[in-house]
Structure 1
Amino acid sequence: MSNHLSVGTGGEKIAADWLEAHGFVVMERNWRSGKREIDIIATKENRLHFIEVKTRRSTAFGMPEVQVDPAKLRSILIAAEAFLEQHPQWRRIQFDVVSIRLRGSDLSIDYFEDV
């Protein structure tokens, strides 16, 4: 597996663990609709969260969350619509980003709600 994929997979595991520790119930990881993917689908307090996870080992090219641009958000929205077609009971939804920075043994997590 290439290094960037292992960093991404590790970041998604860290994010899922963090979310669960903060009261979320993770329903799906890497949910796909065609070519589109939602990293994590979770619930908390009767709200469905579609969560994009971005992980970086360095901030030399900016913070991880800056990679969630309008095109990425559109892709997540289209995938979320497909999920909601299969699960129409959800009325309260939200789109969030988890940003993870790994520097050696240091770990920083930022959670951006309702992006």
Structure 2
Amino acid sequence: MAEHNDAGRQAEQLAADWLVSKGYELLDSNYRHKHAEIDLIMKYKGMLIFVEVKFRSGTGFGYAEEFVDSIKKKLLVKAADQYIYENDWQKDIRFDIVGVYKDRSGTVNFRHFEDAFY
């Protein structure tokens, strides 16, 4: 697997652990439907939350939330619709973005954008 894929998977695990520490419940990870993948599917306060995780080793090229374009959003919504259908989810949902940032010293920081799009 390519190094950037390894970093992405590690970032997803770090984000999942961080969200769990905040009281979120991890329901699924790397859920795939056709050409779309949802990194994390969480539950929090009775709400189903679809999380896109973006890793950055700095902000020189921009922040994580800037890399979720309209095409990616459409794919995420389609995959979320399928997950909702498969699980007969009848309550509220939300789409979040979690940016995972690692600085030169190896320190990891998170930026959480709740209700980032729909």
Distance in 1 (alpha carbons) for counterparts of 2:65 and 2:3 = 19
1:81 aligns with 2:81: yes
Residue 30 of structure 1 corresponds to 30
AA partner of residue 79 (structure 2): A
TM superposition score normalised by structure 2: 0.93
Unaligned runs of 5+ in 2: none
TM superposition score normalised by structure 1: 0.95
Residue 101 of structure 1 corresponds to 101
Distance in 2 (alpha carbons) for counterparts of 1:69 and 1:8 = 18
Residue 67 of structure 1 corresponds to 67
Residue 3 of structure 1 corresponds to 3
Coordinate RMSD, CA, aligned: 1.0
Q: Offset of 1:107 from its aligned partner?
A: 1.2
Q: SS at the partner of 1:19?
A: helix
Structure 1 runs (4+) deviating above 3 angstroms are none
Unaligned runs of 5+ in 1: none
The percentage of counterpart residues that share the same residue type is: 33
Distance in 2 (alpha carbons) for counterparts of 1:5 and 1:76 = 19
